[in-house]
């Protein structure tokens, strides 16, 4: 423990963010930074609990509690307090290949499970994590570490998102020759195309990819397995194949007017903007623009929030975000949402904070369902018809949403973005390899084993578990790498 009474004497402190009205004028990351002395003080708030729930990653009530990659949080908190940054970086890298990603985009279930949070505000774990890795890069401590010898075994990884990159890093560390196939023109999967640049600067992704390349990982872009290369060919040519293609099939939204012009899936909108920004600083115009549009985002999750932020930067006229969930309480419900579950409380994420600063109100509408889209004479969407809903238990015991009579409303809209989630992986590769699927259409592979129904083929990340967090994808990529190493060598020293 850094200081036995630090959690009582020192208040939680986070770095300031750039002014919301100013930051929507660009696409740069918006977080500022604490000084080393302030970070040391924040590290001193850690209690070094007998049972540190912050790093005992598990799922409670359908959500993550604690760190899924089991970061050694109390250890590096104490090392930061003692100004031992290099040692803290070594401890951080023992469990997490990419703390620069999780330190930026993870919702921090570790903080939700922090024991200090029982009586006050939790330790600023996520910010300290990001500060450690950035200090490591600044000091030149993060350098390529290729394996001393090679095993002669060849592994193909399909997909270069967080699961694929984590599996590649670990398998390469074990000495195997690793080739990662990515259908997009840049490596990173949803880290590159899916998460806006203001949350995750793409130079951060490219920086890590360059290290992996220097360590010996081979990357092949613009190549879709199942189309450009037959799936079975990959299985025949490699000693093992790891599928990390993500859950990229958008959930269908079949209501009246879905076919109207101006109605788009969120990922088409986000990906187009990110690619155009990277290619030409948006000068090529190859993206769906929200400029001067009345934007409605259907979906209350992170993807919907990113759509709000992107629309604001495009210069939309207005933006509203719909969610079927109820408005969360201001404080944790100790009965329905006890510690160490992830706290379900009302907060303003970065995009809602920006919209409120610009327009004066939280842009979200809660407990609302769209019933149909209406068009103008030329087939363009012009308005959404909605109804308020409540969640009930039907006669079979299922929880369903029921419309509330008399609550119908109409919202003007010229651009609608659908962000209601995903229905598992795309089918091309799955069908070619005749892989078994679970009831949610994900590739069937037992958690902790990752072996699919096809010989030599493993699956990890969203492709196996369904849409989830970046940190869970890293967890699965690391664990799948260990199982592949066992399969190839009979045993494994990978964690």
For residues 175 and 484, give the distance between their C-alpha atoms in angstroms, rounded to a whole number.
12
For residues 289 and 198, give the distance between their C-alpha atoms in angstroms, rounded to a whole number.
17
Residues 77 and 115 in one domain: yes
Report the mean per-residue pLDDT for the chain. 95
Strand partners, 352: none
Residues 177 and 318 in one domain: no
For residues 263 and 259, give the distance between their C-alpha atoms in angstroms, rounded to a whole number.
7
Residues of the chain with pLDDT under 50: none
> Tell me, what's the pLDDT at 51?
86
> Tell me, what's the pLDDT at 104?
97
Assess if residue 434 is contained within a domain: yes
Strand partners, 171: none
Q: Which of 393, 418, 443 is at the close of a domain? A: 418
Assess if residue 479 is contained within a domain: yes
Assess if residue 257 is contained within a domain: no
Residues 47 and 126 in one domain: yes
Residues 40 and 68 in one domain: yes
Residues 368 and 286 in one domain: yes
Assess if residue 181 is contained within a domain: yes
Number of domains in the chain: 3
> Tell me, what's the pLDDT at 443?
97
> Tell me, what's the pLDDT at 1?
60
**Tokens in use for 460?**
């990890």
Nearest to 208, CA basis, from 185, 228, 191: 191
| pTM score of the predicted model | 0.95
Question: Parallel, antiparallel, or unpaired for β 240-243 and 457-459?
Answer: parallel
**Tokens in use for 165?**
């990159």
Assess if residue 385 is contained within a domain: yes
Q: Which of 139, 164, 182 is at the close of a domain? A: 139
For 183-253, strand residue ranges (E) read: 218-220, 240-243
Residues 281 and 412 in one domain: yes
Assess if residue 301 is contained within a domain: yes
Residues 276 and 411 in one domain: yes
CB 188 within 8 A of CB 209: yes
User: Domain containing 127: what range?
Assistant: 6-139
Residues 271 and 232 in one domain: no
Residues 354 and 226 in one domain: no
Q: What is the CATH number of the domain that holds 398?
A: 3.50.50.60
> Residue 240 contacts by C-beta under 8 Å, 6 or more apart in sequence?
153, 155, 156, 456, 457, 458, 484, 487, 488
Residues 113 and 173 in one domain: no
For residues 48 and 77, give the distance between their C-alpha atoms in angstroms, rounded to a whole number.
9
């Amino acid at each position: 423990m850094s200081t036995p009474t630090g959690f009582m004497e020192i208040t939680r402190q986070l770095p300031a963010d750039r002014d919301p009205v100013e930051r929507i004028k660009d696409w740069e990351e918006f977080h500022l930074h604490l000084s080393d002395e302030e970070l040391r003080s924040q590290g001193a708030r850690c209690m070094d609990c007998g049972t540190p729930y912050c790093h005992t990653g598990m799922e409670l009530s359908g959500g993550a509690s604690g760190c899924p990659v089991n970061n050694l949080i109390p250890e590096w908190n104490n090392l930061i307090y003692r100004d031992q940054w290099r040692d803290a970086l070594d401890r951080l890298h023992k469990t997490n290949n990419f703390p620069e990603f999780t330190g930026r985009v993870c919702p921090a279930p570790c903080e939700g499970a922090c024991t200090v949070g029982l009586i006050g505000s939790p330790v600023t774990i996520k910010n300290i994590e990001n500060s450690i890795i950035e200090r490591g890069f600044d000091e030149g401590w993060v350098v390529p570490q290729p394996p001393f010898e090679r095993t002669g075994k060849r592994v193909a990884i399909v997909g270069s998102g967080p699961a694929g990159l984590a599996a590649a890093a670990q398998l390469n560390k074990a000495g195997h020759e690793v080739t990662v196939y990515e259908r997009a023109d840049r490596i990173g999967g949803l880290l590159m195309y899916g998460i806006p640049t203001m949350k995750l600067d793409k130079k951060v992704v490219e920086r890590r990819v360059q290290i992996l390349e220097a360590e010996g990982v081979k990357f092949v872009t613009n190549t879709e397995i199942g189309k450009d290369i037959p799936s079975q060919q990959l299985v025949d040519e490699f000693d093992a194949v790891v599928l990390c293609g993500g859950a990229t099939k958008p959930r269908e939204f079949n209501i009246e007017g879905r076919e109207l012009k101006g109605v788009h899936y969120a990922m088409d909108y986000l990906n187009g903007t990110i690619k155009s920004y990277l290619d030409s600083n948006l000068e090529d115009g190859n993206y769906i623009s929200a400029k001067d549009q009345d934007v409605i985002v259907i979906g209350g999750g992170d993807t919907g929030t990113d759509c709000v932020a992107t629309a604001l930067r495009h210069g939309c006229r207005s933006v509203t975000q719909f969610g079927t969930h109820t408005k969360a309480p201001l404080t944790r419900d100790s009965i329905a949402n006890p510690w160490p579950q992830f706290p379900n409380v009302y907060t303003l994420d970065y995009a809602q904070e920006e919209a409120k600063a610009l327009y004066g109100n939280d842009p979200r509408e809660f407990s609302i369902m769209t019933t149909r889209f209406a068009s103008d004479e030329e087939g363009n969407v012009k308005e959404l018809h909605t109804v308020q809903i409540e969640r009930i238990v039907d006669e079979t015991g299922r929880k369903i949403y029921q419309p509330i009579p008399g609550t119908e409303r109409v919202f003007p809209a010229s651009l609608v973005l659908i962000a209601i989630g995903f229905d598992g992986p795309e089918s091309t590769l799955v069908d070619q390899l005749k892989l078994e699927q679970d009831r949610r259409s994900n590739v069937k592979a037992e958690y902790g084993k990752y072996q699919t129904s096809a010989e030599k083929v493993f699956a990890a990340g969203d492709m196996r578990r369904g849409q989830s967090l970046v940190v869970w994808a890293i967890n699965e990529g690391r664990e799948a790498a260990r199982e592949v190493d066992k399969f190839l060598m009979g045993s494994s020293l990978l964690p």
